[in-house]
Amino acid sequence: MAQNGTSVSIQDLSLSFGAISVLHTLNLDVAEGEFIVLLGPSGCGKSTLLNCIAGLLDISEGRIFIKGKNVTWEEPKDRGIGMVFQSYALYPQMTVERNLSFGLRVAGLPKEEIDKRIARAAEILQIEPLLQRKPSALSGGQRQRVAIGRALVRDVDVFLFDEPLSNLDAKLRAELRVEIKLLHRKLQNTMIYVTHDQIEAMTLADRIAVMKGGVIQQLDAPQTIYNRPVNRFVAGFLGSPAMNFIDGRLEKVGSDWQFAFEDVRIPLATYAFEKEPTPGPAVFGMRPEHVAFNSGAGWPFTATANVEVVEPMGSDTLVWLKLGKQNFTVRVTSERTPNNTDTVSIGFDPMRASLFDAQTGNRL
């Protein structure tokens, strides 16, 4: 990551509208050629941050560097960015070709150069046959391709995507996701991508920045964020179905730690604590797919549980259990689907668990 140097650097950025603070002292360094995804629930400030980088919103504090140049107060066009919007934002009365060339014409580029760039973008995105059409004559997927093309022709270093796939249906979304990934591989540009869709985030990103309340909660590689979330919010936001959370207590028995709730005791010998813990209330988190099902012994922790609901989803099945009095979901392959009324045995390795402080929600 660091081999190429920094492309976008955000330093101590804050933004407030009147008394409402939207972003708090944010810092973010994006390496050249990196694909960063800003992920979070609506209202977390991710789109706002992207608009700040684009220069479409004036920030209250801090500085923004792009390619080592301080662009904090530059106009959007002078920042070396291209942007793709959720609603495509194609100029409705212009043909696709004129949509693509508008920015270049504004900049006063010579006609041959404009034609060359449009030809290249149209080829990359395979929209050559659409060039003379109006946006209203295009399908959603085609419109989004044109919108990407508009960023492409600007020949910029940094691409900004603001939830570009949210307006498309599920099938098209999956297709275009792959295309964007291919595009990134081909162009090797820096891309900053805002989404609330965790699958897009997981599949596209080199690194994900999970945001909440105007603060970046965790900035890491997708697998790290998935496996070792830094707090309960990140743990709960990623993963579908969501991680199982159980409220209980952390106790020390001899030299070993265990997690206790009701009459269940989970041994934590294999769990890697961030630092030496103290006894007290805690939250135990376990992803549904990390639980083994009816697979006999051999697990550090096993228990029996009652099946409440079974949801077959095709490739696999979700089983809703009662572990003691707690709700607990398990994802199993379709072949192992239990009956609705079974009592089943489950087992898992606490190595894959996440433990959080009950008060702060931080990872223990």
Partner 1 sequence: MTAGQITAIQPVQEAQDQAGVGPIGPKPRRISAGRIGLYAFLVVAALFFLIPVYIMIVTSLKGMPEIRLGHLFNLPSEPTFQPWADAWLHACTGRDCNGLSPGFYNSVKITLPSVVISIICASINGYALTFWPYKGANLLFGLLVFGAFVPYQVVIYPLIIGLSSVGLFASLPGIIIVHTIFGMPILTLLFRNFYAAIPVELFKAARVDGAGFWRIFLHIMLPMSVPITVVAVILQVTGIWNDFLFGIVFAGRPNWPMTVQLNNIVNTTTGVREYNVNMAATILTAAVPLIIYFVSGRWFVRGIAAGAVKG
Question: Count residues contacting partner 1 (CB under 8 A)?
Answer: 27
* Angle 4-210-51 from CA coordinates, rounded to 5°: 75
**φ, ψ for residue 121 (rounded to 5)?**
-60, -40
Task: State which residue, 97 or 162, has the beta carbon closest to partner 1.
Answer: 162
Taking the C-alpha atoms of residue 85 and residue 101, their distance in angstroms, rounded to an integer, is 17
Q: Is 190 in the site for partner 1 (CB under 8 A)?
A: no
- Shortest Å, Cβ 196 to partner 1: 17
Q: Is 81 in the site for partner 1 (CB under 8 A)?
A: yes
Which residue in 190, 196, 195, 186 sits closest to 158, CA to CA? 190
- Select the span of 61-69, 102-110, 266-274, 289-297 touching partner 1 (CB under 8 A): 102-110
- Shortest Å, Cβ 90 to partner 1: 8
Q: Is 87 in the site for partner 1 (CB under 8 A)?
A: yes
Q: Is 76 in the site for partner 1 (CB under 8 A)?
A: yes
Handedness of CA 314, 203, 124, 156 (dihedral sign): positive
Q: Is 56 in the site for partner 1 (CB under 8 A)?
A: yes
Q: Is 107 in the site for partner 1 (CB under 8 A)?
A: yes
Task: State which residue, 178 or 187, has the beta carbon closest to partner 1.
Answer: 187
Give the position of tokens 């909660």.
217
Neighbour-count burial for 216-241, b at 16+ CB within 10 Å, e otherwise: bbbbbebeebbeebbbbbbbebbbee
- Shortest Å, Cβ 140 to partner 1: 14
- Select the span of 19-27, 84-92, 193-201, 335-343 touching partner 1 (CB under 8 A): 84-92
Q: Is 195 in the site for partner 1 (CB under 8 A)?
A: no
- Shortest Å, Cβ 139 to partner 1: 18
Which residue in 36, 43, 53 sits closest to 208, CA to CA? 36
Q: Is 51 in the site for partner 1 (CB under 8 A)?
A: yes
Which residue in 112, 109, 121, 102 sits closest to 187, CA to CA? 121
Could you tell me if 26 and 20 are in contact, meaning their C-beta atoms sit under 8 angstroms apart? Answer: no
| Among positions 32, 34, 162, 357, the unique one binding partner 1 when judged by CB under 8 A | 162
**φ, ψ for residue 349 (rounded to 5)?**
-105, 115
| Among positions 10, 15, 64, 83, the unique one binding partner 1 when judged by CB under 8 A | 83
- Select the span of 59-67, 118-126, 146-154, 300-308 touching partner 1 (CB under 8 A): 146-154
What element of type H or E holds 126?
A: none
- The token pair that represents 47 in the structure block: 């789109």
Q: Is 221 in the site for partner 1 (CB under 8 A)?
A: no
- The token pair that represents 132 in the structure block: 């003379």
Taking the C-alpha atoms of residue 336 and residue 346, their distance in angstroms, rounded to an integer, is 12
Task: State which residue, 55 or 350, has the beta carbon closest to partner 1.
Answer: 55
Q: Is 137 in the site for partner 1 (CB under 8 A)?
A: no
Taking the C-alpha atoms of residue 13 and residue 85, their distance in angstroms, rounded to an integer, is 23
User: Which residues make up the interface to partner 1 (CB under 8 A)?
Assistant: 51, 54-56, 75-77, 81-83, 85-93, 102-103, 106-107, 147, 150, 154, 162
